[in-house]
Structure 1
């Protein structure tokens, strides 16, 4: 994992850019939560780099493999909450620093019931914060929206009591969110 680089403040950020950058980060979290892989990949520039505690990812092809092979255990029964956004000017874009909280609200096998609008009572002390990560996204404008140029996931804290019983993507496939329009 690479440490966060120093990003000097390059002046004021236009309020519209600040709002749209925060919305973009929150929307990207939603795409992860709903497992909209194409939107997730599209949110990154083709040559983007992500520094994750699972390793460094270069470009969309590596990210796709990572999402398919290593990431599914972080999806079913988990919501994402980006908090305390700080937006600064960054060369030809912006940098957004924030804390990302992954809240386990259900076991993977129970998550579908919540997606169907049911209310469940958890005997397991859920919901609870499973993972805390400081984040930094360097964003650039492409076409008419922001795209991630570099993503840094800082040193993270994980509550292992909330780990799913398996990290095997094949076993988790049945619990992954399904896009309604897919």
Structure 2
């Protein structure tokens, strides 16, 4: 059996890999806390997002997509795993990872999580509940001030539990 070899020329240095993984994890915290302005600022003006719910091109289209997407984010936490970081053409960095979405509260009760963060939420509806799995690929670029921005986000191989979606 032949084991596939990694092209070492595509593997970034440790600092770049750390920064890239940290950045995509922060973006998912912005989703969890629904910090819409900070989230949107994490993308380039010409961003492309390919998602099973649709494609958006540019920040205005992404803003509209996020507005429609927001209701299902309340009461959900994202857990990212198995990040693989590669350098791609032009020096951009591609981070591919698995994302698990866990519903920790019904959307209608999610505000209590912000109001009482130190309380233990108890439900009869079998929460927390894994509601979705996907593979995500974020292509990151550095902008003029050296900060990372997402140039392209691709969400694929999605599997969902619709019963606990909201």
TM-score by length of 2: 0.89
- Report the CA distance between 1:100 and its aligned residue: 1.1
SS of the counterpart of 1:121?
coil
Tell me which residue corresponds to 1:157: 159
Give the conservation status (yes or no) of the 8 Å contact 1:9–1:90: no
Tell me which residue corresponds to 2:124: 123
Distance 1:110 1:37 in 2: 19
Task: Report how many aligned residue pairs link the two structures.
Answer: 156
Q: Which runs of 5+ in 1 are unaligned?
A: 1-7, 165-182
Tell me which residue corresponds to 2:47: 48
Q: How much is the aligned-residue C-alpha RMSD, in angstroms?
A: 1.4
Deviations 1:3-54 (A, max 9, x none): xxxxx77433110000000000000001111111111111111001000111
Higher RCO structure (Cα 8 Å, ≥6 apart): 1
Give the conservation status (yes or no) of the 8 Å contact 1:9–1:89: no
1:69-80 alignment, distance < 5 Å:
70-80=68-78
1:1-182 alignment, distance < 5 Å:
10-68=9-67, 70-91=68-89, 92-115=91-114, 116-117=116-117, 118-142=119-143, 143-164=145-166
4+ residue runs of structure 1 moved beyond 3 angstroms?
none
Distance 2:154 2:104 in 1: 25
Q: Which runs of 5+ in 2 are unaligned?
A: 1-6
Give the conservation status (yes or no) of the 8 Å contact 2:99–2:133: yes
